[in-house]
């Protein structure tokens, strides 16, 4: 199998699986408890918190562990209930749909702009916020792919997730800058300094810590910037040169997108069909076509970017990890031109 859907989720790293397996045996106790096993579990949680704080340049107490990026996003929006909320058109559904629920006309105002988009990989310019305004950024796709400095980015809130870097699903983070408003989404416990109730997911947080350690030791952002960028760019150039009717939805100019995501449309060939023909060849990708999700509409991100529903329905996202090789790209290019040609030949669109 050639896995090119890292932006959806990354396979759990062996280091993470080992750390979590050990954690289930050694750190099973409730981390809020004052007894020895509880305290040992809490030490491990704090170790992950400290490592993350170092990696994104914040204070450990500015980090709140959550159940994932969607919860982190929900918690920020919930804090600004009744306030003005401005979001970019590229945001994840866990921003856009939640903003619809909480948006009002009171001050302060919240801006929520992701630093890099998940479907296109494109890097957005963050807005400059003024008096009585706050800035949140969903950094889910950025972690491990680029260095992150929440202070330099001027962020008041930031969302992160463990499973995009080879950690477990079910562990997320909300960075909340010291002194900014925060209203807990899950109440009913003293955990996380009363900012997020619920028994600690000790094994999950330990697994996240192992993934962060791997990221730090390998300096994965450097590998993405060079090795992975080259794989992505070779695929982009070969698709454009070898497949008639192809067009890039991702801007691959340096600095315009994450180095590991490539979104492409193929004229007259529908995305889900391409995805499944590739799957039949053991190549795993995703699509912005509505059909794949069972939704009635194609991806709002592709619509915002291209303004063309047919282009959105005909899109495929390739997303790389550091384990991919140039042979993977070559294998894709052995089968993809034939798949697209076949679908174009049976298509109603000429």
Partner 1 sequence: MVQEGQDWIYSETVKDHFLNPRNFLMGDEANFEYDAMGLVGNPICGDQMKVYIKVRDGKIVDVKWKTYGCASAIASTSALSEIAKGKTLDEALEIKAEDIDDYLGKLPKHKFHCSVLGHDALKDAIEKYREKDGEK
Residues near partner 1 (CB under 8 A) are: 1, 3, 11, 268-273, 276-277, 279-280, 282, 289-292, 294, 296, 298, 309-310, 313, 345-350
For residue 112, which of 143, 89, 81, 132 has the smallest C-alpha distance?
89
Q: For partner 1, which is the closer residue by CB, 53 or 343?
A: 343
Shortest distance in whole angstroms from residue 319 CB to partner 1? 15
CB of 2 to partner 1, least distance (A): 8
Q: Determine how many CB atoms are found less than 10 A away from the CB of residue 342.
A: 14
CB of 324 vs partner 1, minimal distance in Å: 11
Strands (E) located in 4-156: 63-66, 83-87, 106-112, 133-138
The tokens of 153 are what? 């980015």
The residues pairing with 315 across neighbouring beta strands, listed in sequence order, are: 265
Kindly state the smallest distance separating residue 266's Cβ from partner 1, in Å. 11
72 burial (CB, 10 Å; 0-12 / 13-18 / 19+) is: buried
Residue with smaller CB distance to partner 1, 32 or 347:
347
312, with CB counted inside 10 A (0-12, 13-18, 19+), is: buried
Residue with smaller CB distance to partner 1, 186 or 291: 291
128 is catalytic: no
- Cα-Cα-Cα-Cα torsion 301, 307, 311, 317, nearest 10 degrees, comes to -20
Q: Residue 296 has which token pair?
A: 């009635």
Residue closer to partner 1 by CB (options 10, 185) is 10
Catalytic residue among 58, 83, 128, 291: 291
Give the active site residues: 291
């Amino acid at each position: 199998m050639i896995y090119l859907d890292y932006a959806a989720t990354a396979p759990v790293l062996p280091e993470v699986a080992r750390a979590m397996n050990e954690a289930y045996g050694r750190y099973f106790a409730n981390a809020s408890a004052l007894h020895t096993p509880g305290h040992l579990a809490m030490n491990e949680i704090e170790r992950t918190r400290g490592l993350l704080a170092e990696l994104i340049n914040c204070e450990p107490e500015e980090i709140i562990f959550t159940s994932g990026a969607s919860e982190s996003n929900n918690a920020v929006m919930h804090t600004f209930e009744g306030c003005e909320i401005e979001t970019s058109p590229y945001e994840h559904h866990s921003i856009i749909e939640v903003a619809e629920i909480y948006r009002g006309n009171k001050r302060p105002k919240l801006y929520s702009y992701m630093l890099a988009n998940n479907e296109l990989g494109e890097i957005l310019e963050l807005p400059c916020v003024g008096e009585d305004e706050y800035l949140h950024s969903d950094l889910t796709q950025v972690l491990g792919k680029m260095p992150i400095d929440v202070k330099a980015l001027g962020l008041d809130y930031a969302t992160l997730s463990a499973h995009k870097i080879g950690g477990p699903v079910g562990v997320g983070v909300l960075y909340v800058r010291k002194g900014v408003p925060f209203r807990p989404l899950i109440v009913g416990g003293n955990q996380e300094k009363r900012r997020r109730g619920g028994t600690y997911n000790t094994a999950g947080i330990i697994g996240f810590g192992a993934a962060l350690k791997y990221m730090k030791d390998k300096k994965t952002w450097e590998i993405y910037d060079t090795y992975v960028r080259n794989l992505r760019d070779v695929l982009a150039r070969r698709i454009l040169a070898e497949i008639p009717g192809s067009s890039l939805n991702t801007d691959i100019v340096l600095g315009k997108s994450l180095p590991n995501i490539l979104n492409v449309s193929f004229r007259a060939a529908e995305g889900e069909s391409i995805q499944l023909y590739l799957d039949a060849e053991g190549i795993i990708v995703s699509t912005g076509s509505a059909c794949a999700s069972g939704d009635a509409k194609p991806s709002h991100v592709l619509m915002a970017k291209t303004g063309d529903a047919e282009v959105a329905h005909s899109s495929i996202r390739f997303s790389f990890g550091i384990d991919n090789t140039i042979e993977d790209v070559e294998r894709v290019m052995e089968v993809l031109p034939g798949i697209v040609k076949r679908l174009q030949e049976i298509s109603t669109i000429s």
